[in-house]
A = this chain, B = another copy of it.
Amino acid sequence: DTIHSTAEQFGAKNRWGPEQSQTGVRRLALSDLDKGVKDWFVKETKSLGCTVKIDEVGNIFATYPGRNNDAKPTGMGSHLDTQPTGGRYDGIFGVLSGLQVLRTLKANNYVPNYPITLVDWCNEEGARFAMSIMASSVWAGISTKEHVYALKDVYDNKTTVLEELNRIGYKGTEKCSHMANPLKCHFEIHIEQGPILEKIGKKIGVLTSAQAYTWIEVTFKGMPQHTGTTPMDYRRDSLLATGKVITGINDIAKKYGGVATVGKLSLSPNVVNVIPGEVNFVVDIRHEEDEGLHKMYKAVRELLAEVILNKAGNGVPLEADIEDPYPTPAAIFNSELVDLIDESAKSVVGEEYAHRMISGAGHDSCATNTVIPTAMIFVPSKNGISHNPEEYTKPEELEDGFRVLLETVLRYDES
């Protein structure tokens, strides 16, 4: 219910069915809607007796007190921002499950041994400010606040993260650092965003790791000529070159057992009877292992080189710019926490419904995992659809997930 009431209030969008719950959510990081849901989160957690700290990059830490408040808190977290055409669950379910854990403690007057902190990590999606897992990366020390403050809104190419943090009042005073503001561990529950649990009939995914991935941005520059008057052999067709990359990376993914996609692409002049002069696109490649990603990466670079220097331009070489960011390494989650989740999952849904798997997507937990013990729980996604208004997980599946999170946190607190 909380999922749907926050969706209603803070950004419901893109109806896909007649039911009240059948819309997606568009709640871009640091927008007014993001401020709205952050204010609500602060109010809710305070009403449960939490102490709330906001750090300088917009992360919110709501700490439920335990017996031993000098110890580092047990952490739970995820994110409340969404994709522009996002669903109601991605990230949001993780934060609201954590909130439900705190509500359950409160309702039962249960005092944990150690404090429990629920975190709303700021800008996980990277949809408005193009860096995913943004503020958790700063907290983990794998990025800097200076870097992220300067990121610009992709829609107006002007407004910065710093301006928006100030504008919505979420540039907090707490240092954004796992050293200054530590957690003992981090548990995150999330929708799978893929089809596997549903297909194999499992209820809970126990994550052992998350894939390594990287995004290679390519701009091909050819010659914008007339489609009717330019014989095939005289062309430098940037979109033909791109077509060869799109089909080629599919073969590479299959060969190396990873995944590869072009999801973003634009061309100019984008006119029916003009050969595309310039195409800009991003190749997203992922693999379970860093080594596998590296092999895929090398194969993609070889494919790009071949397309640029040779056949794709129909004889004449193309020019290209390739932006080559540092890859996100695979996250291997802490095996003790993984086992703890596994036990909790088996006790909640039964041995036959818990399934060890890897995460295809990156999550805030990939950042926290670089500095503290971290592990994750998945619930199924209907048809594997995510980043889409039709994202859906059944209430009973959400309930199972919440109970696994609760049990995991309580077992951890006891251990």
Contact = CB atoms under 8 A, between A and B. Distances in A.
A230 B360 contact: yes
A259 B231 contact: yes
Given A275-B261, A284-B273, A359 B223 contact: no
Contacts of A194: 225-226, 228-231, 234
B271 A224 contact: no
A73 interface: no
Nearest to A195: B234
Interface string A119-142: 000000001000010000000000
A362 B227 CA distance: 11
26 contacts: A83-B271, A85-B271, A132-B273, A193-B229, A194-B229, A194-B231, A194-B234, A224-B388, A225-B388, A226-B360, A228-B286, A228-B360, A229-B360, A230-B259, A231-B360, A232-B250, A232-B254, A232-B259, A240-B250, A242-B243, A247-B247, A263-B270, A263-B276, A264-B271, A273-B361, A277-B388
A6 interface: no
A263 B275 contact: yes
A386 B224 CA distance: 8
A225 B385 contact: yes
**Residue with the greatest number of chain B CB neighbours at <10 A, chosen from A192, A245, A286, A386:** A386
A299 interface: no
Nearest to A390: B224
Contacts of A344: none
A303 interface: no
B273 A265 contact: no
A256 to B, nearest CB: 11
Copies in the complex: 2
A284 B227 contact: yes
Given A84-B269, A263-B273, A263-B276, A286 B387 contact: no
Interface of A: 83-85, 127, 132, 192-196, 199, 211, 213, 215, 223-232, 234, 237, 239-240, 242-247, 250, 253-254, 259, 261-267, 269-277, 282, 284, 286, 314, 359-362, 381, 383-388
Going nearest first, the 3 A-B pairs with the smallest beta carbon separation are A194-B229, A243-B246, A229-B360
A242 B237 contact: no
Contacts of A360: 226, 228-231
A247 B243 contact: yes
A138 B266 CA distance: 35
A191 B260 CA distance: 44
A408 to B, nearest CB: 22
Contact of A83 (B245, B262, B274, B362): B274
A224 B230 CA distance: 35
A286 B129 CA distance: 43
B261 A387 contact: no
